[in-house]
Amino acid sequence: MSSDQILVKKPLIFATGSEIRKDIAESHGISCEFIKSEVDEELIKLNFHGNDFDKLAIQLATEKALTISDKNKDYFVVGVDQVCSLDEEILNKPGNKDNAIVSLQKLSGKTHYQNCGMAICKDGKIIWQSSAIAELTMKDLTLDEIQRYLDLDEPYSCSGSYKFEANGKDLFLNVIGSEYTIQGMDIDQLIEAFYREGIIWFMKDFKNKVAVITGAGSGMGRELAIELAKSGANIALAEIDETTLDETAELLKKYNVGVSKHILDVGTGSGCI
């Protein structure tokens, strides 16, 4: 995966209400919308047969993406989900401390799996699916240790009843797999998929270079101008509407880069050199 700055160039939505997954996306430079999908997860799990829990995670992620995609045409929609499994059992989000104690007692001293499922949809169609699995072996925990941990993190809305990104990582003897997989979103796989689908660019160093942006008065043109200005590029704005052109130029002032304005219609021969 490239270490260059990421620029989202196509409309993108993550079908999640998870703050940790939002933080992961934003920390990797992915600027987009986040909309919680109201999919009945328990019904999907109830109707699932077998123990290929990574496939269940993909199904959950896909249903979330499709639900949001049906209402947001022309957007790429990402669904993500995870399934915590111990042997043949799924350990759901506990919801409260008593349930979390039961879950952690089951996991104590044993190896379990966090199955991460991901999907990308557009216009109600699936265009990409994948999964990742992390293997975690928990320490032998006493009831007192479990209660002390729960008082620290209160992980009652977390798969497996722990927050690995906080104090939960201290509960384990051995972990095989990415921390992002454990948190239910393998961001490295997603970024690679975004790049292949043309959803993102990897931006090089644009400092002191000139970027010509057409359709700069609104939408993706304006967003692209802002992102390039943030990276230090000087911006030549082209737009047929003088009012929206001026608005974009005003937005770029705070980035202290050169900005020129050009009123023209690149869709006509007279608007092009």
Q: Which residues contact 89 (CB under 8 A, 6 or more apart)?
A: 106
Quote the pLDDT of residue 253.
Answer: 92
- Average pLDDT over the chain, rounded to an integer: 91
- Tell me which residues are annotated as active site: 81
Alpha carbons 191 and 197: distance in angstroms, whole number: 10
Residue 184, classified by CB atoms within 10 Å of its CB into exposed (0-12), middle (13-18) or buried (19+), is: buried
Quote the pLDDT of residue 266.
Answer: 62
Quote the pLDDT of residue 86.
Answer: 97
Tens of pLDDT, residues 244-263: 999 999 999 999 999 999 99
Phi, psi of 71 (to 5 degrees): -105, -5
pTM of the shown model: 0.74
Alpha carbons 150 and 156: distance in angstroms, whole number: 8
Query: Measured between alpha carbons, how far is residue 57 from residues 17, 45, 63, 121, 180 in Å?
Result: 16, 9, 10, 15, 15
Alpha carbons 172 and 56: distance in angstroms, whole number: 25
Quote the pLDDT of residue 88.
Answer: 93
Q: What six digits make up the tokens of 29?
A: 């430079």
Q: What is the mean pLDDT of residues 265-270?
A: 60
**What is the enclosing helix (H) or strand (E) of 41?**
helix 41-46
Phi-psi region for residue 109, left (φ > 0), alpha (ψ -120 to 50) or beta?
left
C-beta atoms surrounding 179 within 10 Å: 13
Residue among 28, 37, 63, 176 nearest 114 (CA): 176
Q: What is the mean pLDDT of residues 75-85?
A: 97
Residue among 119, 164, 171, 123 nearest 145 (CA): 171
Share of the chain above pLDDT 70, in %: 94
Which range is least confidently modeled, 118-127, 154-163, 201-210?
201-210
Q: What six digits make up the tokens of 227?
A: 């992102």
C-beta atoms surrounding 32 within 10 Å: 20
- Which residue, chain included where needed, has tokens 């002390």? 148
Q: How confident is the model at residue 2 (pLDDT cuts 50, 70, 90)?
A: very low
Q: What is the mean pLDDT of residues 108-113?
A: 98
Amino acid in the structure at residue 151: D
Residue among 13, 4, 8 nearest 220 (CA): 8
Alpha carbons 163 and 85: distance in angstroms, whole number: 16
In this structure, are residues 82 and 115 in contact, taking their beta carbons and an 8 Å threshold? yes
